[in-house]
Amino acid sequence: MDYNFLKIERRESITILTISSPKTLNALNSTILREIDDCVSNLDASTRVLIITGDGEKAFVAGADISEMAHLDEAGGTQFGKLGAAVFRKIETLAIPVIAAVNGFALGGGCELAMACDIRICSNNAKFGQPEVGLGIIPGFSGTYRLAKLVGQGMAKEMIYTGRAIRADEALRIGLVNAVYEPGELLDRALEMADRMLKNAPLAIQYAKDCIAESYDLSADDAIAYENVMFGKCFASRDQKEGMAAFLEKRKATFTGE
């Protein structure tokens, strides 16, 4: 599929997906959502880390496209919300790590997209917020769920009820992002983080991601039991043999993802 609003770049085992709709600050309309869906559904098997960012230095994604939503009725709103939520869930449940490199405004659906990624880093001009109630709607791409999980209910409620956008330093303080960088170095730092992941066993990372996701809604006992099963499974992998042999032989491991 040719994309009108995405730029896709490969750097060895890393795929960089750049959302590019500069006239509307990369706002997400249904065409862009479908393009993202297609891209993440058809990632090359050799992709081991996905980086998502926005085009330009002003915006990651300034939200869902307000001009498209303005004329929706209840059924249309439900459908649009479902589309975005399904695409973001697909991103969240990819077997590989996904890093959001947030290079400016991440408002509404933009903040929700960043939150569907495993890890968020941002530029020092980034702004995060859920301004939906000012438009007469609520976060509709799973923001009420993920924001509360990420920063706690109190902060999520304040951000959602007031619609107040927060700057990068506050996003860092509340744990919404892991690190803040100069705009010009953001992508390099994302690539550096991805490179560190690439040095490790892919299957082990996938299992770890799976455990963290599963344990979200489980009791402590069930989460610990689930981790134990996945821990055991690691020992059935070639990478476990290789990783431990390499350590004992004082050499670098060569992982194959098997």
Which phi and psi (to 5°) does residue 110 adopt?
-70, -40
The DSSP 8-state label assigned to residue 71 in this structure reads T
Position 109 contacts ligand CO8 (CB under 6 A): yes
Helices 153-162 and 143-151, axial angle in degrees (round to 10)? 130
Position 5 contacts ligand CO8 (CB under 6 A): no
**CB of 28 vs ligand CO8, minimal distance in Å:** 7
Q: Which is nearer to ligand CO8, 43 or 135 (CB)?
A: 135
Which phi and psi (to 5°) does residue 23 adopt?
-65, -25
Interface mask toward ligand CO8 for 8-37; x: CB under 6 A:
----------------xx-x----------
Identify the CA nearest to 57 among candidates 232, 188, 182, 238: 182
- Out of 5, 60, 141, 207, name the contact with ligand CO8 by CB under 6 A: 141
Position 126 contacts ligand CO8 (CB under 6 A): no
Q: Which residues are known to be catalytic?
A: 112, 132
**CB of 22 vs ligand CO8, minimal distance in Å:** 9
Helix/strand/coil for 50? strand
Q: CA triplet 118, 119, 125: central angle to 5 degrees?
A: 140
- Out of 39, 91, 99, 107, name the contact with ligand CO8 by CB under 6 A: 107
Q: Which is nearer to ligand CO8, 30 or 200 (CB)?
A: 30
Q: Which of residues 57-76 bind ligand CO8 (CB under 6 A)?
A: 62-67, 69
Position 54 contacts ligand CO8 (CB under 6 A): no
What are the Cα distances from residue 240, in Å, to 35, 94, 257?
37, 22, 10
**CB of 100 vs ligand CO8, minimal distance in Å:** 15
Position 80 contacts ligand CO8 (CB under 6 A): yes
**CB of 190 vs ligand CO8, minimal distance in Å:** 22
CA quadruple 34, 187, 176, 131: dihedral, nearest 10: -50
Residue appearing with tokens 């690190």: 179
Stretch that binds ligand CO8, among 113-121, 138-146, 176-184, 186-194 (CB under 6 A): 138-146
**CB of 78 vs ligand CO8, minimal distance in Å:** 7
Q: DSSP H helical segments within the chain, as ranges?
A: 30-41, 66-69, 74-92, 109-116, 143-151, 153-162, 168-173, 186-198, 202-215, 220-234, 238-248
**CB of 9 vs ligand CO8, minimal distance in Å:** 24
Cβ atoms of 111 and 171 closer than 8 Å: no
Which phi and psi (to 5°) does residue 115 adopt?
-70, -20
**Residues forming the site for ligand CO8 (CB under 6 A):** 24-25, 27, 62-67, 69, 77, 80-81, 84, 105, 107-109, 131-132, 135, 139-141
